[in-house]
Amino acid sequence: MIGKKRQPDYKTLTDLELVDLSKDPKFNKEAFGELYERYVTKIYNYVYYRTGNHHDAEDLAARVFFRAMGHIDSYTDRGVPFQAWLYRIAHNLVANWHRDRGRRKIIPLDEFVATRLQSESPDKHAEAKEERTLLLEAIRRLPEERQQLLALKFVENLSNAEIGAIMDRTEGAIKSLYHRTLIALRDELERGSQERREQTRQRKTQG
Amino acid sequence: MTISDTQMQDLLAALTEALRADDANVDALITQYDAPMREVAPFLALISRLHRSYVRVQPSRRFTRRLRAELLGTPQTDVIARIRYLPARVQIAALVALVAGITMLLTRLRFLLPVPRPQTSDLGLG
């Protein structure tokens, strides 16, 4: 019997069930709304750490959801969970953003550092802020896939298997990439540290 | 003594999980993998630094509410919002097409409108 469809309890549904309902004209808005609630903060964080500022993070996060809503009919779970599909959209938009604007060296994230360190003394606060700035600068000099891996691992707390689904690699390949990323980051920090020592030495010589 | 790359990869994955979960039992992991501390220590410091530096941020409520309304509200009528979130290339192409269209329209209008002819008296020939 085809009667009036009952509104499901969206919060209890899986992503895949919500995706199916999003394709149904009767339910699509509410179902997509639940998916939006589940992922808006995650996607925002991912984009924020890849762009380094709130303005572009808002703009790109919005584009991710507009694109996802526009293409939801074409999504089918062929081993790629909805979350991974959404992150892939975000990754492509961020990659285009970097390519179009050539803006890789924005130094971000001051306000959350301030929030997190408000209980520390001013000296410690400044030191920790400097340490974070140097680290994030070094990360921005890494290849894109390594930046992506670090953001997914440390901001989103995703497992290697989940990251593998997003980056279309095996869990083993992600482990290996993570190892190489840490080595590259360690070297990058060391190189930055050497450059700063050299600059200080030159300034002293000139002075 | 050193450990193989594969063992190191497994150890780094396990150490990262432990640090992310604020599990202090890192020493036990290092012992379990039988890894020399001089090899592991620089990675441990770096992972710990990454863990401290990447902190979850919250998008503003104003942004999340507005976006939700734009997505689920009345997207068909909200042309500005739809255009705003199109890819930059599409926006540029649309702008170029619009300018070209207006230019063509104006050019066409110029040809269609009658051009006032000068009177012979105005030319001093009458």
Exposed/middle/buried for A158, CB within 10 Å: 0-12, 13-18, 19+?
buried
pLDDT band at B117 (very low <50, low <70, confident <90, very high): low
CA angle A143, A146, A150 (to 5 degrees): 140
Residues A92 and A37 in one domain: yes
What integer pLDDT is reported at residue A182 of this predicted model?
Answer: 97
What integer pLDDT is reported at residue A205 of this predicted model?
Answer: 84
Mean pLDDT score across all residues of chain B = 83
Counted across chains A and B, CB pairs separated by less than 8 A come out at 100
What integer pLDDT is reported at residue A152 of this predicted model?
Answer: 95
Residue B59 pLDDT > 60, yes or no?
yes
Six-digit token string for B39: 């090899």
The count of residues in chain A is 207
pLDDT by residue (tens digit) across B19-57?
Answer: 888 776 888 888 899 889 888 999 999 999 999 889 889
Residues A98 and A160 in one domain: no
What integer pLDDT is reported at residue A108 of this predicted model?
Answer: 53
What integer pLDDT is reported at residue B26 of this predicted model?
Answer: 85
- For residue A34, what are the domain limits? 12-106
Contact (CB, 8 A) for A93 and A67: yes
Low-confidence ranges of chain A (pLDDT < 70): 1-6, 103-121, 207
Interface contact B71-A36, CB threshold 8 A? yes
Q: Cα–Cα distance between B33 and B89 in angstroms, integer?
A: 51
Chain B residues lying within 8 Å of A93, measured CB to CB: 87
Give ipTM to 2 decimals: 0.79
Residue B89 pLDDT > 90, yes or no?
no
Exposed/middle/buried for A125, CB within 10 Å: 0-12, 13-18, 19+?
middle
User: For the CA atoms of A180, A186, A190, A195, what is the dihedral angle to 10 degrees?
Assistant: 70
CA angle A158, B65, B58 (to 5 degrees): 40
What integer pLDDT is reported at residue A113 of this predicted model?
Answer: 47
Q: Is residue A112, in this structure, part of any structural domain at all? A: no
Q: Cα–Cα distance between A16 and A35 in angstroms, integer?
A: 10
What integer pLDDT is reported at residue B51 of this predicted model?
Answer: 92
Q: Is residue A2, in this structure, part of any structural domain at all? A: no
Q: Cα–Cα distance between A54 and B67 in angstroms, integer?
A: 15
Interface contact A182-B12, CB threshold 8 A? yes
Q: Within its chain, how far is the Cα of A110 from the centroid?
A: 17
B57, B63, B72 member nearest A112 (Cβ)? B57
Best residue in A44, A97, A193 for a mutation probing chain B (most B CBs within 10 Å)? A44
Chain B residues lying within 8 Å of A62, measured CB to CB: 67, 70, 84-85
**SS3 of B52-75:** HHCCCCCCCHHHHHHHHHHHHCCC
Q: How many distinct structural domains can be found in chain A?
A: 2
Q: Which residue numbers of B have CB closer than 8 Å to A's CBs?
A: 5, 8-10, 12-13, 16, 20, 42-43, 46-47, 49-60, 63-64, 67-68, 70-72, 82, 84-85, 87-89
Residues A97 and A18 in one domain: yes
Residue A13 sits at φ, ψ, to 5 deg, of: -85, 155
Contact (CB, 8 A) for A128 and A85: no
Interface contact A65-B71, CB threshold 8 A? yes
Could you tell me which residues come within 8 angstroms of residue A176 by beta carbon, excluding any fewer than 6 positions away? B5, B9
Map out the domains of chain B as residue ranges: 5-53, 74-112
Residue B109 pLDDT > 90, yes or no?
no
Q: Is residue A167, in this structure, part of any structural domain at all? A: yes
Interface contact B72-A154, CB threshold 8 A? no
Instruction: Please report, for the domain that includes residue A73, its CATH number.
Output: 1.10.1740.10
Q: Is residue A5, in this structure, part of any structural domain at all? A: no
Interface contact A40-B64, CB threshold 8 A? yes
In the block, tokens 């492509």 appear at A92
Q: Cα–Cα distance between B100 and B94 in angstroms, integer?
A: 10
Instruction: Please report, for the domain that includes residue A162, its CATH number.
Output: 1.10.10.10
Q: How many helices (H) and strands (E) does chain A have?
A: 9, 0
pLDDT band at B68 (very low <50, low <70, confident <90, very high): very high
Work out the minimum CA distance from A148 to partner chain B, whole angstroms. 13
Interface contact A186-B10, CB threshold 8 A? no
Work out the minimum CA distance from A199 to partner chain B, whole angstroms. 24
Q: Hey, what amino acid is at A117?
A: L
Mean pLDDT of B82-86: 69
pLDDT band at B8 (very low <50, low <70, confident <90, very high): very high
Cα nearest neighbour of B89 on chain A: A100
Chain B residues lying within 8 Å of A160, measured CB to CB: 13
pLDDT band at B120 (very low <50, low <70, confident <90, very high): low
Six-digit token string for A134: 């140097």
What integer pLDDT is reported at residue A6 of this predicted model?
Answer: 65
Q: Cα–Cα distance between A103 and A60 in angstroms, integer?
A: 14
Best residue in A154, A170, A174 for a mutation probing chain B (most B CBs within 10 Å)? A154
DSSP 3-state of A159 = coil
